[in-house]
Amino acid sequence: MLLPIKANDPKSRLVIQVVSDSKSSSEMSGVSKEEEKSDEYSQDMTQAMGAVLTYRHELGMNYNFIRPDLIVGSCLQTPEDVDKLRKIGVKTIFCLQQDPDLEYFGVDIRSIQAYAKTCSDIQHIRCEIRDFDAFDLRMRLPAVVSTLYKAVKRNGGVTYIHCTAGMGRAPAVALTYMFWVQGYKLMEAHKLLMSKRSCFPKLDAIRNATIDILTGLKKKTISLKLKDKGFSIVEISGLDIGWGQRIPLTLDKETRFWSLKRELPEGQFEYKYIIDGEWTHNELEPFTGPNKDGHTNNYAKVVDDPTSVDGATRERLTSEDPELLEEERLKLIQFLETCSEAEV
């Protein structure tokens, strides 16, 4: 069972500014409720993403050209936004939002989709990725980028990739596309992206999704245990659920240990215990040194065989600036061409 939380384990500080490209109708008729929702969303985004991020929904759709053929931006809010994108050459609108994202800001996605269908020169595609969730991003990237790749081949022109704020999921998908398809090194693409739009794509999710395709998705079950000291509730945040949720542990009354078993794919997963509401790490399990913000987290490292060919590939591609071999890029393209699409 997953329980939503307000993560109070602050991460790095990165100030994000958004410049509006268009005004929504709500701006003309009073926006106090919109402003409150934007404030709350920005706070949740900051806590979950590990960076100070600000999104002003009431200012309307905003975006940046990353390349002449690739735009990253915030969500469309009205059917009129479709026409704004048509005027700048957009042929594919690629939406990554889930229903709760749309409901939160009252966006009528059906009216936007219906209007786009009446236009012969643009296609609206929706592929969901969960907001603020790096693990879901990792697991969804292969199918989502496959759908994007096929749409770009089919439609040509300019592609508009968006989530809600255009700061997490959308830049991550654009960055992955640049890395897998357009021939960029990962950090070369990241540098270009950040020079055009302030955002916070999860690089580790992209690295791991790349390795998952190239070496196969291998999983193992890990076991975590914590000695009871009269605790009432013990939970864990992090692992594969991100810092915005928590998983309860089970107390064995005979051994007096709180425990959790969790199947995880290969990779390193940081986590923290929440004991009766207090965040802490367990010194009897592997833990990181204090990070740049002074926080110490436990971690679980899941590996198959580090001495194998796949292990060497994982080691190389988890480096700071991985570069794909030509045969690896060809394998990724082949995967994108044959993978089942993720459109909903």
**Which residues are known to be catalytic?**
163
292 closest CA partner among 7, 50, 49, 5: 50
The DSSP output letter for 320 is S
CB atoms within 10 A of CB 154: 10
302 closest CA partner among 262, 247, 245, 242: 262
Tokens of residue 293, six digits: 């913000």
State the amino acid at position 75 in one-letter form. Answer: C
The DSSP output letter for 325 is -
**Burial class, 216, CB count within 10 angstroms (exposed 0-12 / middle 13-18 / buried 19+):** exposed
Give the Cα-Cα-Cα angle 295, 296, 297 (nearest 5 degrees).
120
CA dist 267 and 265 (Å) reads 6
